[in-house]
Structure 1
Amino acid sequence: MEHFEAIIIGFGKGGKTLAAALADRGKKVAVIEQSKMMYGGTCINIGCIPTKALVHHSKLSQLKRLSSFEDQASEYRSAINKKTELIAAMRQKNFENLDKKQTVTLFTGKASFASQHEISVQTETGNVMLHSEQIYINTGATTVIPEIDGIQESKHVYTSTSLMEQTALPKRLVIIGAGYIGLEFASMYAGFGSEVIVLDSHRNLLEREDRDIAQAVQSSLEKKGVTFHNATIESVRDVEHAAIVTYAEADQKRQETTDVVLVATGRKPNIEGLQLSNAGIAITDRGAIQVNERLQTTVPHIFAMGDVVGGLQFTYISLDDQRIIMDHLYGNKRRTTQDRQFVPYSVFIDPPLSRVGLTEQEAVASGHEVKIALLPAAAIPRAKLSEETEGLLKAVVDAQTDRILGCTLFCADSHEMINIVQIAMVTGQPYTFLRDHIFTHPSMSESLNDLFQMISH
């Protein structure tokens, strides 16, 4: 058995950053990753980076206005190959960044707890036992596969991970699930030239968003050719060279024949095989590792971070989890998960949808008296000159304090703009700060002047 001062299970954003930080302090660290294809974690291998690379190439494909499906398929194949080259290079760089640390040892294999201080690693060559006084879990999340008749047996069913490995562009794509992942893939594949049908059991699209924003998103995607159905999926059956998806809509049974079925019904914490009970680590009702505000599990020397603890599944949250743990180890022990204010997020449809803070309906439900501002993206000079006029911007302001309660930006470059709004909110600025701020021109950011000017009217 080999002893380490820290064992980190999972090579994700939080885990790899923590490993490097501990190694820089001279600590002997073991990092365990179950697959050599996942060095660097979800984001660079199967999440943010590959999907956003394909979003980028999808947009380029649209601009080329390719007339035949053969040309579109060729463009898609090229995009997949470029994506694969990109993540291979980033994966290798992530491996090298840790491998070059003298006090870091990388193990590729499946980790499980043997006790509160012992980890068993099943590698290709056999079983290895590791011991440490401190253990950190960063195993991420995995795709939820719903219990639908025939879905497990179908050869035409893919997850977001496996679909991005296919070099053949599907002529027809059925997406089960209209959450953020489902909508990103709908936008992306429609851009490449696929006929996209989205099936979802929720009555309203994007239930977490205000209805005016959700309707703007749906309208934009429908203009790209995406079709939406409020449906309950009954079965998936393979036929020759295709799959048939049977579903119920408005009490009528319907069927779609498709080349590919994408399952996009959410992700769950990845705890399978960890044998958490051997260490006495509790899990929540939702299957996440239970942690306190400093990310300690029910065993104080074992911490968990990132998607495996539930909550917001963002790379930047995993990174901030690492900051909290480092503050607990070497700082003043004041940082906690309760410190996070107004965490922004973006959904990379085209144009991207970004939000921070409360929606109008959430603000009203919370007892706020609100003032609302709406601005069509088509009114923004920069959007006009770049011919990206699709979208809607919305701000929610407290009528009593003039503080910004929330902001939703459905427009080009919203993923950059939303950070400006978040900083204004965190620093307690009134909405007039953004209304009167000097921005460069012509830029998408200066539209915040116009959006918050609407509050005064």
Structure 2
Amino acid sequence: MKAFDVIIIGFGKGGKTLAAEFAKRGQKVAVIERSDKMYGGTCINIGCIPTKTLVHQAKIASGMVGVTFEEKSEFYRNAIAVKDFVTGILRNKNYHNLADHPNVTVYTGMGSFLSADTVAVRTATEEIVLTSKQIIINTGAETVIPSIEGVVDNPFVYTSTSIMELTALPRHLVIVGGGYIGLEFASMYASFGSQVTVLESYPELIAREDRDIAASVKETLEKKGIVFKMNAKVQSVNHTSEKAMVAFTDSQTDEAFELEADAVLLATGRRPNTKELHLEAAGVEVDARGAIIVDEYLKTTNPRIRAVGDVKGGLQFTYISLDDYRIIREDLFGKAERKTSDRDPVSYSVFIDPPLARIGLNEEEARKQNLDIIVKKLPVMAIPRAKTLGETDGLLKAVIDKNTGKILGCMLFAPDSSEVINIVALAMKAGQDYTFLRDFIFTHPSMSEALNDLFS
């Protein structure tokens, strides 16, 4: 049995940053990662970095006019190679940032609890037992595989992870699920040159967004040639030697349909990755969704064990994992002034084309709370910078408290919205009212100056 000051299960953003923090303070750290393809975590290997690399490449592809599908396929193949190069460099850097530190030992294998302070690591060749009085769980989330006939071991069925290894551009891609992940891949593959069909089981797209924002998203994506089938209940995904056959029914009319596809992407959500941790042995409890229960300082039901990142549920973003690191750092080595309740509201972006970014309450949520509000809207076509970019689809929207002038929320479906939303977030965090952005001096022409008009 090998003793450490800290054991961290999972090499993701929160875990690796904590490992470096503990190590620089002279503590002996064990980091357990089940796959040598996941050093650095989800973001670097199968999440933000590879998808946004491909989103950028797809943006370039969308400007290719008068080319054949074969030429588009060759561009896509090269884009996958670029993605692999970028992720490979970052994975290697992340591994050596920890593995080369004298206070850190990296174990590549599956970690699971034997007791509250003991973890077994099953590597390719042996089982190693580690012990520590302080353990941090950072195992992330995994794709939910729906119970649809024919999806298991189907060579034409992919997850958001495996489809990024596909080097042949599918002529027809069917996406099961019209949530944020599904829309991001739909936009990307349509830009590369695939015909994309999205099968969404609900009658409305992205139900958590206001209907005018969702309608603008749907209309813009349809202009790219993406076909949406709402109320689509997928029955089976069978296949021949060359194609997948997707059978679905309209849940409103019971009418049956079948689609041929070169590839089928399952975009039906993600869930916390806890099934092989044997949490019961450590006294760590999960909620009804399978997420590890934590308090405001990220302590689990066993206070010596903490959980960071996607495994604890909630918003699944790299920057949340990084803030989890800050909370633990300040709790252990600072004044314990940071906690999970301090960071709301948090902005997010969906990297469709153009991106959809949001922070705080939307109009529907504010009205459900019976708040007295002012709603501001601005079409993207009214923004000078959008005209210079030749990208005039989209809508900007803000929700303001009528009595205080405080910004309650903002939704930006526009070019560069993933950057501009951070300006709104700063204003909200600083406690400024809407006039701060209304009267702020922005550069011209820029997308950020649209905030002057949105909040006017």
TM-score range, shorter chain: over 0.9
Q: What is the match of residue 137 of structure 2?
A: 137
Between the aligned partners of 1:379 and 1:251, the Cα distance in structure 2 is: 43
Aligned partner of 2:29 in structure 1 is 29
Q: Which residue of 2 aligns with 1:346?
A: 349
TM-aligned CA deviation for residue 100 of structure 1: 2.2
Partner of 1:427: 430
Aligned twin of 2:15: 15
Aligned with 2:408 (options 393, 405, 408): 405
What is the Cα deviation at residue 376 of structure 1? 0.9
> 2:28, 2:93 → 1: CA distance?
21
Between 1:307-316 and 1:321-330, the stretch displaced more is 321-330
Following superposition, the deviation at residue 60 of structure 1 comes to 0.2
Say which of 246, 264, 270 aligns to 1:267.
270
Displacement of 1:334 in angstroms is 2.5
Shift of 1:153: 3.6
1:244 matches 2:259: no
Distance apart, 1:67 and its partner CA: 2.2
2:383 aligned residue: 380
The letter of the residue matching 2:92 is Q
Whether 2:337 is the aligned partner of 1:334: answer yes
- Partner Cα distance (1:400, 1:214) in 2: 28
**Does the residue aligned with 1:64 lie in a helix, a strand or coil?**
coil
Stretch moving more, 92-101 or 407-416? 92-101
After TM superposition, the structure 1 = structure 2 runs for residues 198-217 of structure 1, keeping only pairs within 5 Å, are: 198-217=198-217
Q: Give the aligned residue type for 2:165.
A: E
The match for 2:311 is 308
CA distance in 2, matches of 1:424, 1:348: 23
In the alignment, the residues of structure 1 paired with residue 132 and residue 33 of structure 2 have an alpha-carbon distance, to the nearest angstrom, of 17
Counterpart residue type for residue 199 of structure 1: L
Aligned to 1:279: 282
State the Cα deviation string for residues 295-323 of structure 1 (Å, max 9, x = none): 11111110001000000000000110111
**Within 1, Cα distance between the matches of 2:291 and 2:239?**
34
- How far did 1:423 drift? 0.8
Offset, 1:240: 2.6
Query: How far apart in 2 are the matches of 1:378 and 1:65?
Result: 23
1:323 to 317, 322, 326: 326
Q: Distance in 1 between matches of 2:26 and 2:15?
A: 17
Q: Deviations over 1:213-252 (max 9, x none)?
A: 0000000000000000110111111113001111011320
Q: Distance in 1 between matches of 2:66 and 2:284?
A: 54
Structure 1: any 5+ residue segments left out of the alignment? none
1:32 match: secondary structure: strand
* Aligned-partner Cα distance in 1 for 2:100–2:442: 43
Query: TM-score w.r.t. structure 2 length?
Result: 0.98
- The aligned residue for residue 167 of structure 2 is 167
In 1: Cα distance, 2:329 partner to 2:453 partner: 41
- Cα RMSD (Å): 0.8
- C-alpha separation in 2, matches of 1:272 and 1:21: 28
> Distance in 2 between the 1:436 and 1:337 partners?
32
Matches within 5 A, 1:159-198: 159-198=159-198
Deviation at 1:373, TM superposition (A): 1.1
The 8 Å contact of residues 66 and 72 in structure 1, kept in 2 or not, is answered as: no
Cα displacement (A) at 1:66: 4.5
TM-score (structure 1 length as normaliser): 0.98
Aligned residues: 453
Amino acid at match of 2:434: Y
1:256-303 Cα distance to aligned partner (Å, 9 max, x none): 010100000000000021111111111111101111111111111100
Cα offset for 1:193?
0.4
